[in-house]
Amino acid sequence: MTIIYIYGLISVLVVSLVSLIGIFTLSLREEILKKYVFVFISLAVGALLGDAFIHLIPEAFENSLNIILTSILVITGVLIFFILEKFLHWHHHGEDVNEEHVHPVGKLILFSDGVHNFIDGVIIGASFLINIPVGIATTIAVILHEIPQEIGDFAVLLHAGYTKARALWLNFLSAVLSIVGLLTIFILNQNQEVIVFYLLPIAAGGFIYVAVADLIPELQKTKKGWYSIIQIITVIIGVGLMLMLTLLE
């Protein structure tokens, strides 16, 4: 069991460090970043859908005592993330901010991102409690989906009036909440069957929602032929990464 805790802690630390991706973006000109960020988004779509349908949902059904209830929990996960986005206004990729409301928007992004990161930590912890390969697959999916989100969040924080150093620091503090989520789920490990039965399908529904409702619409904004081909190939690569990890199980 100790090895699971170690793997889980390392995973959320890596996910937290992804928040510092903004350091990399500082070296890129804005037009170059906007031109190629779709590659990260495409990878995230494939990884999230691959993890949901290849790892999380099959594991949930395998451990299910009621298939109908498990299916409803997947839908519940979609609805939970829909509600969170409605009321917390998650901004995965950044958007123009009204100058009259720059600071409130910046704080809202930090708050909503913190909630999101807490949930990521819970999802990663629950996945490692199933087995290590599933935990690794989920961690990779979270990382690939965090990269475009963190780039977008960092850009919005800068636009909201934060200095580069402060934006990086606040973004990192928000990301550290994934560790809190991990520790929470490990403390609740006394009833692993409940975690498997309830949390995994909900997590899968959340991943499906993020991929379909948030990321794919971003890809649809690109109409250029070659860009579309690259998007499709990169999505397939993301799914392929999740498929390859089944070989470890």
Residue-wise pLDDT for 160-183, tens only, equals 677 777 878 888 888 888 999 899
More confident residue, 108 or 222: 222
Q: Measure the CA–CA gap between 169 and 91, rounded to whole angstroms.
A: 18
pLDDT at residue 127 is higher than 60: yes
Q: What integer best gives the mean pLDDT of the chain? A: 78
- pLDDT at residue 65 in the model: 82
pTM attached to this predicted model: 0.68
- pLDDT at residue 102 in the model: 43
Helices and strands counted in the chain (H then E): 13, 0
- pLDDT at residue 74 in the model: 94
pLDDT at residue 47 is higher than 90: no
Residue-wise pLDDT for 183-212, tens only, equals 988 887 755 566 667 878 888 888 898 888
Q: Measure the CA–CA gap between 242 and 237, rounded to whole angstroms.
A: 9
pLDDT at residue 95 is higher than 50: no
Contact call for residues 127 and 194 (beta carbons, < 8 A): no
Confidence of residue 122 (pLDDT cuts 50, 70, 90): confident
Cα distance between the two ends of the chain: 17
Q: Measure the CA–CA gap between 80 and 88, rounded to whole angstroms.
A: 12
More confident residue, 71 or 43: 71
What residues contact residue 3 under an 8 Å CB cut-off, 6+ apart? 132
What residues contact residue 102 under an 8 Å CB cut-off, 6+ apart? 159, 160, 161
pLDDT at residue 104 is higher than 70: no
Q: Percentage of the chain surpassing pLDDT 70? A: 76
More confident residue, 103 or 117: 117
